[in-house]
A = this chain, B = another copy of it.
Amino acid sequence: MSDSPATAVQFLDARGERVSSAASERFSEYADEVTVELLQSFYRDMLVTRRFDEAAAALQRQGQLALWVPSVGQEGGQVGAARATKRQDWIFPAYRELVMARVRGVDPLQLIDMLRGNTHGTWDWQSTHFHQYTLVIGAQSLHGTGFAMGLALDGKASTGNRETDAAVLTCFGDGATSEGATSEAFVFATSYQAPVVFFCQNNGWAISVPTSTQTRTPLAVRAAGFGLDSVRIDGNDAIAGYAVTRALLDKARVGDGPGFIESMTYRIGAHTSSDDPTKYRSSDEVDEWGARDPITRVRLRLEAESVDDEFFADVDAEAADTAADLRARISQRPLPTAESMFAHVYSEPHPVMAAESEWLRQYEANLAGES
């Protein structure tokens, strides 16, 4: 650890100024990779996702979605971390990693399918290297660790080649750190020196429960105790997200040990569309964090770098298009068939599946015949 793991690394402050500190020094080489062009891509990912997010929330209110899980306010750390992954890397998300999904090329309508109740989540994890959402808090932390162990066993990681070795980025929230599975993932990751970096979005809340109920020490300090290379970042600073994730992934991929990032951010919206956060938190707190918006600061930086209006207009247009596309396509998503309930429970033939799907087929046919 370059410094106490509790000191947050920041490269871009809320006013869009480039900053540095003793804590950030270790990562400045990686921060320097963030060209204006790369920063523009961050901006685009964040803004388009924000507009998509807002559109989806609106569609949920109109009854088009069973549930919506917003990521508003958390785009900064997410875009930095996701853009820090190399093509060969893999992401194991929790369920609030909307920007990361975009960065890895997931069709957002497939995310929508899940929240509409059509599927349990069916994007192409093999080509996107972006795994399904995991809804049982903490469970994916072990999957990501085992997967990383597998990469190393396979010679796809830990060979010492920083360009071609692969690594895993595993995401979860502050609340998830209380589940035994998450601690167990730390144990396995360190025991096998697996090429994995844990990306914990500490957004202050686990539904209505503040982070202070889950921990009395910074989560980065807890993770460091397990022997993870542990860093706290300003989670609303995309550059910090990028630089620190890149550094820790590069270290992990070559076999030099797993890492942990505590990304200090805030959930500006509700936990999900089912939640009413006014019941448990103050609007002051929300406002305070609103002033630290991750998108605004990148925009200020880009403006300071004299990026022209055309770029911003183009991003706005893409955002509008993406939202429009969502509205246009949402009601045309393919519905699941009855048969699909039975078809994939097992990879190989199973007599109960055959019998039950046949029974349902005939039952449905009879019902249709009767009416």
A183 CB to closest chain B CB (Å) equals 3
Residue from A216, A217, A225 whose CB has the most chain B CB atoms within 10 Å: A225
The reply on A351 being an interface residue by CB < 8 A is no
Contact B217 A225 (CB under 8 A): yes
The reply on A213 being an interface residue by CB < 8 A is yes
The reply on A363 being an interface residue by CB < 8 A is no
Known A-B contacts A178-B184, A187-B178; A227 and B216 likewise in contact (beta carbons under 8 Å): yes
The reply on A124 being an interface residue by CB < 8 A is no
Residues of B contacting A179 in the complex (Cβ-Cβ under 8 angstroms)? 180, 184
Tally chain A residues at the interface, Cβ within 8 Å: 22
The reply on A214 being an interface residue by CB < 8 A is yes
Bound-complex Cα distance A11 to B1 (A) = 32
Contact B213 A217 (CB under 8 A): no
User: Per a CB cutoff under 8 Å, which of B191, B214, B216, B225 touches A214?
Assistant: B191
Bound-complex Cα distance A10 to B217 (A) = 28
Known A-B contacts A225-B222, A225-B226; A190 and B178 likewise in contact (beta carbons under 8 Å): no
Bound-complex Cα distance A191 to B226 (A) = 19
Question: 5 A-B residue contacts at CB 8 Å?
Answer: A180-B180, A180-B184, A221-B225, A222-B227, A225-B225
Query: Which A residues are within 8 Å of any B CB, using their own CB?
Result: 177-181, 183-184, 187, 190-191, 213-217, 221-227
Nearest first, the 8 A-B pairs at minimum CB distance are A180-B180, A225-B225, A183-B183, A217-B227, A216-B227, A222-B225, A178-B187, A190-B216
